[in-house]
A and B are shown apart, each in its own frame.
Chain A
Amino acid sequence: MDFLIRLAHCHFSFRQPELESLATLLEVDLEWVYYSDKSPYCIVKLPDEATARALVARSILAKDVYELWGQGSVYEELHADVRKRTASRWPDYEHRTFSFVVDSFLGKRSSGKKIEIIQSFAYTGFKGPIRMKDPQEKFWVMEEYEEDLSHRTVNLDQPHEPRMIFMGRYLGKSTRDAILKYDLKKRKYISTTSMEAELSLVTANMALAAPGKLFYDPFVGTGSFMVTAAHFGALSMGSDIDPRSFRGKEEENWGPPAVTHNFKQYGTESKFVEAFTSDLTNTPLRNVQFLDGIVCDPPYGVREGLRVLGTRSGKAIEPVIIDGVPAHYRPGYIPPKKPYGFEAMQRDVLGFAARSLVTNGRLAMWMPTAMDEMDLPLPMHPNLELISVSTQSFHNWARMLLTYRRLPEGEVSDTALARNKADDEGASADDLNEFRRKVCISNLKSCTSPS
């Protein structure tokens, strides 16, 4: 069956991967019939109406879904298609209350013209009554216009016809409202690097968060990914090399870890498993496949350099005994840390994901990149299949959400084209982090927080 999905007109390279991920989650086949980054309307084939509703109900980047009744580049063509597809079903709707909406993208219709359009469907024989509030059926006419700057800026009154028209019966809406619920401005505990609500929710969808699953974020920070995974029912654990990030600053006296206040705010306390202090390069997690999803935005050190356990010189400091207790067991001990390369950290994340994800488990990892590096190969691992690459662009940099699937044993992905970039030589965060150097240091004045 053909369904029309109305998409949010933003985050274009995330829209198809999100819906494809949701089809994987629901274990259904989704086939693209029509999709363009230039349009908010797309058409997909799905097995049935219930599936279409369920799929879109989980989506953040879709707005709503319709049973496709017809399409055409002009109204005659649209009406012919509506007749062909649905004439046999009109009697089913004859006595149902209904409403009609005309939605125009990049175009505008006067209310008189809208009524004329609605009346052109009189042949369907719906007797109604028409009810604008809570009708039993909602029919939508959706017009897509060419993006034509001359029409929009010079000649606003010029009649201008849509390039495509769709007609559909409304089935249900998405969970896009969650963006408001998880808005950082209303969240109890955040920091300067908390990921915005919309893309945190999309990240959880890419990683197939769902009830019964166990998720982990190795760079948990204030727990943006934990709470959005929880929104979709997954339980999660998080860790960070800096416990203040998830615990809250001591002087603020948060009591239980500050991240748990966010779970409480959203009523998802039972989805919080754990927050612990650890460094991914020296993780205490066992080498067993136990995670359904890993979601992360590794620190890339625009504000702070990336650091891991160890000493800058590479030489261990011999343990010191103070009052009969080794210094490293005394309260307040802070172990030494050293700068670490961004390329090495990405490889560590992929290696960890390959060891820890169950078969078909997913890694959704954010990666920043300077604009002149957009075409560089991506990090890969033989046990992980790169499923999608979605990019969010800023003025002089971009960040990509890379989604991988843990392959079953015995299958390997082709990593011939993988990123094989070494970290720069050096001992300071700037020497080691090309991204930080390029985007931030060379452009100090315009350096803003990426999140």
Chain B
Amino acid sequence: MKVITANFVTCAVKDCKTSAASFPLHFHDAELEMQEIDFQPEFIRNVIPRIDWEGLRVTANELGFPSLPDSKPEGKALEDERTLKDLHRLLLETQVMEGRLVCGNCGHQYAIKEGIANFLLPSHLV
């Protein structure tokens, strides 16, 4: 699972979706792998406005990345190549291969195996 995806998911349990505590899901025992991907500045510029910045800061911190700026880059800051490359590295090149994603509201754990997160719920949570 890539960091960008972690920013767009929350707990699949319906009652958790409305709870602020469910986002972002927290990485536990995460094993990271860096994967080189072509730098696509137009993509980063397009998705940054859709990213939950506070959530991304929490995730980056949990995965041991240096802290992100306090506020989301906007306007001119999105023209800065250094900023875009750093975000590209964090969002697209950082991959969690093994570990768990845990909901801060209900505590349910989603396993990540060989880079694939499993969001299927047992019947008592559907």
Tell me if A311 and B123 are in contact (CB < 8 A): yes
Tell me if B115 and A284 are in contact (CB < 8 A): no
Q: Is A273 on the interface with B (CB-CB < 8 A)?
A: yes
Tell me if A282 and B124 are in contact (CB < 8 A): no
Tell me if B5 and A276 are in contact (CB < 8 A): yes
User: Scoring B residues 109 to 120 as 1 if CB is less than 8 Å from chain A, else 0, what string do you get?
Assistant: 111001111111
Within 8 A of A (CB), among B91-120: 92, 109-111, 114-120
User: Scoring A residues 282 to 295 as 1 if CB is less than 8 Å from chain B, else 0, what string do you get?
Assistant: 11111111101000
B24 to chain A, nearest CB (A): 10
Q: Is A372 on the interface with B (CB-CB < 8 A)?
A: no
Q: How far is the CA of A169 from the CA of B5 in the complex (A)?
A: 48
Q: Is A149 on the interface with B (CB-CB < 8 A)?
A: no
Contacts of A278 in B (CB 8 A): 12, 118-120
Contacts of B124 in A (CB 8 A): 316-319
Contacts of A269 in B (CB 8 A): 37
**Count of interface residues, chain B, beta-carbon cutoff 8 Å:** 39
Given the known interface contacts A247-B116, A273-B2, A329-B111, the answer about A317 and B122 at a Cβ–Cβ threshold of 8 Å is yes
Given the known interface contacts A212-B42, A269-B37, the answer about A276 and B117 at a Cβ–Cβ threshold of 8 Å is yes
Tell me if A309 and B5 are in contact (CB < 8 A): no
Contact of A336 among B1, B5, B8, B123 (CB under 8 A): B123
A15 to chain B, nearest CB (A): 29
Q: Is A256 on the interface with B (CB-CB < 8 A)?
A: yes
Contact of A243 among B8, B37, B45, B118 (CB under 8 A): B118
User: Scoring B residues 5 to 34 as 1 if CB is less than 8 Å from chain A, else 0, what string do you get?
Assistant: 100111111100100000100000000000
Q: How far is the CA of A288 from the CA of B47 in the complex (A)?
A: 12
**Count of interface residues, chain A, beta-carbon cutoff 8 Å:** 45
Q: Is A257 on the interface with B (CB-CB < 8 A)?
A: yes
Given the known interface contacts A277-B116, A277-B120, A309-B120, the answer about A283 and B50 at a Cβ–Cβ threshold of 8 Å is no
Contacts of A257 in B (CB 8 A): 114-116
Contacts of B5 in A (CB 8 A): 237, 273-274, 276
Contacts of A349 in B (CB 8 A): none
Tell me if A214 and B119 are in contact (CB < 8 A): no
Contacts of A214 in B (CB 8 A): 43, 46-47
Q: How far is the CA of A333 from the CA of B1 in the complex (A)?
A: 20
Given the known interface contacts A286-B8, A317-B124, the answer about A275 and B116 at a Cβ–Cβ threshold of 8 Å is yes
Contact of A212 among B4, B45, B109, B111 (CB under 8 A): B45
Tell me if A309 and B126 are in contact (CB < 8 A): yes
B35 to chain A, nearest CB (A): 9
B8 to chain A, nearest CB (A): 6
Tell me if B8 and A288 are in contact (CB < 8 A): yes
- Least CB separation from B38: chain A residue: A270
Contacts of B13 in A (CB 8 A): 282
Contact of B119 among A277, A288, A319 (CB under 8 A): A277
Q: How far is the CA of A310 from the CA of B120 in the complex (A)?
A: 10
Q: How far is the CA of A9 from the CA of B52 in the complex (A)?
A: 47
A381 to chain B, nearest CB (A): 19
Tell me if B37 and A274 are in contact (CB < 8 A): no
Q: Is A235 on the interface with B (CB-CB < 8 A)?
A: yes
Q: How far is the CA of A279 from the CA of B120 in the complex (A)?
A: 7
Q: Is A335 on the interface with B (CB-CB < 8 A)?
A: yes
Tell me if B119 and A212 are in contact (CB < 8 A): no
**Which 10 residue pairs across A and B have the least CB separation, nearest first?**
A212-B42, A270-B38, A328-B122, A278-B119, A316-B124, A290-B50, A284-B9, A284-B12, A284-B119, A277-B118
A-B contact pairs, 20 of them (CB 8 A): A212-B46, A214-B47, A235-B40, A235-B43, A257-B116, A269-B37, A274-B1, A279-B121, A283-B119, A285-B9, A286-B23, A290-B47, A309-B120, A316-B124, A316-B126, A318-B124, A333-B122, A335-B121, A336-B122, A358-B50
Interface positions of B (Cβ within 8 A of A): 1-2, 4-5, 8-14, 17, 23, 37-38, 40, 42-43, 45-47, 50, 52, 92, 109-111, 114-124, 126
Interface positions of A (Cβ within 8 A of B): 211-214, 235, 237, 239, 241, 243, 247, 256-257, 269-270, 273-279, 282-290, 292, 309-311, 316-319, 327-329, 333, 335-336, 358
7 new A-B contacts, CB < 8 A, other than A274-B5, A278-B120, are: A212-B45, A276-B116, A276-B118, A309-B120, A318-B124, A327-B122, A335-B120
